[in-house]
Amino acid sequence: MNQPIKLFGTDGVRGVANTEPMTAETALKLGRAAAHVFKRDDKRRHRIVIGKDTRLSGYMLENALVAGICSMGVDALLLGPLPTPAVAFITRSLRADAGVMLSASHNPYMDNGIKFFSNDGFKLPDEIEQQMEAYIASGELDEIRPTAAEVGKAWRIDDALGRYIEFIKNSFPKGMTLDGYKIVLDVANGAAYKVAPRIFSELGADVTVYSDKPNGININDRCGALYPEVVRKGVIDHRADVGISLDGDGDRCIMADDDATVVDGDHVLAIAALDLKEKGLLAKNAFAATVMSNLGLFQAMDEAGIEVHRSKVGDRYVLSTMLEHGLNLGGEQSGHVIFGDFTTTGDGLITALQILRIMRETGRKLSDLRRVIRKYPQVLVNVTVRDKPPVESLDGVQQVVAEVERALGDHGRVFLRYSGTEYVARVMVEGREEREVKAHAARIADAVRAALG
């Protein structure tokens, strides 16, 4: 009997490219499994959209996916380098059966990932991912071999970039422009390197672009959303109104205000929620945020009479919470923000444009808008680990965590979890005093290293 396999993590399949599970062989099997799962009837041609970021390994994995999909009698529609949310949009726009994105998001270039979207542009539920894993493990699909005219074909969608640009611009009010705004833009040598500069320029902004020359190995390399200091410096050097920093696949956005202060996803959620509430457009007078969001966000929203539903970390869990409670706004501190009135997943370009819209409508600078929340000092330490046993089973670590929680009392908190995509434990500590918070976080991190390093 075939043993079950586990390929999917919190955001698709991910790993070091050309090692399992991120090999051409597994990509081909995933393509075959996806084609079978999404082939709903045999009376028409079926189509799966494939996009990618700028990683060198994207060529290898893209061709393997195409081979797997076509071998099952399904057509593959190739978009080339485009942001993850563009794949979700174009899957819906073309009425395709599914979409696939090749990207490891903010990870370094040697990693890659495969994530799937259903025909409605939403990421797959766990049960569909498990069904695909079961097909691969069982070998059940090995005997399904369409021949002759039943084999699938592949072609490139030449107008994909233009379709996505118009979709993004349509999220910005008609007649409104960005005339007079000076923007510094970091596209992380990633999937948004073509579309992002065009969008802001076509809307009238004066745009200075950083990290827009991908070579296959420089994606996220000391640039993009994990390195906001690039746009912070750019704002100062160019006396810009705002800095916008995207990650490698364009689904998250971190900003810098006119004072060169970082504006993260918590700030964006607060600014957007207050704006939508004032307009009477905030569904259920609530939004979704993760347990990692800063205490200052929860306190500010409580004072404003806005409910915040807490989800697990990961944009798919944010979206699940939004759907469960009928919400139209949700996001993460990391810059994944979902504006449900426009799209089905996090989109860094829509996020940036919604903040720019609020700036234009109110006449306020971003440095003023971000002050809607007063953030607690928060320290996040990443610890590389050799495996991931339940954190509750680490007695020595739990003892240190308990001692820190007692020291913080009601004015802080500790959050310890594993990354869903890397062998990393994340230690987060919040409190009133930054020096104290750093010391507590370092102490817990040392305990994790001693147990698992």
- Enzyme catalytic residues: 105
User: What is each CA distance from 234 to 205, 239, 302, in whole angstroms?
Assistant: 15, 8, 35
Q: What is the length of the chain?
A: 453
| AA identity, residue 233 | K
Tokens of 282: 């905030």
Buried-state track 188-199, b at ≥16 Cβ within 10 A, e below 16: bbbbbbbbbbeb
Question: How many angstroms separate the CA atoms of 7 and 15, rounded?
Answer: 10
Q: 414 forms bridges with which residues in the sheet?
A: 429
Secondary element (H or E) of residue 303: helix 295-304
- Other beta carbons less than 10 A from residue 153's beta carbon: 14
Q: List CB contacts of 439: < 8 A, sequence separation 6 or more.
A: none
Question: How many angstroms separate the CA atoms of 24 and 171, rounded?
Answer: 37
Residue 72 phi, psi dihedral angles, 5° rounding: -100, 10
Question: How many angstroms separate the CA atoms of 404 and 415, rounded?
Answer: 11
Tokens of 30: 């995933």
Secondary element (H or E) of residue 314: none
Q: Read off the DSSP letter of residue 66.
A: H
Tokens of 37: 């799962």
| Inter-residue contact 34 to 28 (CB < 8 Å) | no
Buried-state track 64-102, b at ≥16 Cβ within 10 A, e below 16: bbbbbbbbbbbbbbbbbbbbbbbbbbbbbbbebbbbbbb
Question: How many angstroms separate the CA atoms of 51 and 184, rounded?
Answer: 26
User: What is each CA distance from 430 to 303, 378, 420, in whole angstroms?
Assistant: 20, 4, 22
Q: Closest by alpha carbon to 291, among 413, 424, 394?
A: 413
Q: 10 forms bridges with which residues in the sheet?
A: 12
Q: Read off the DSSP letter of residue 263.
A: E
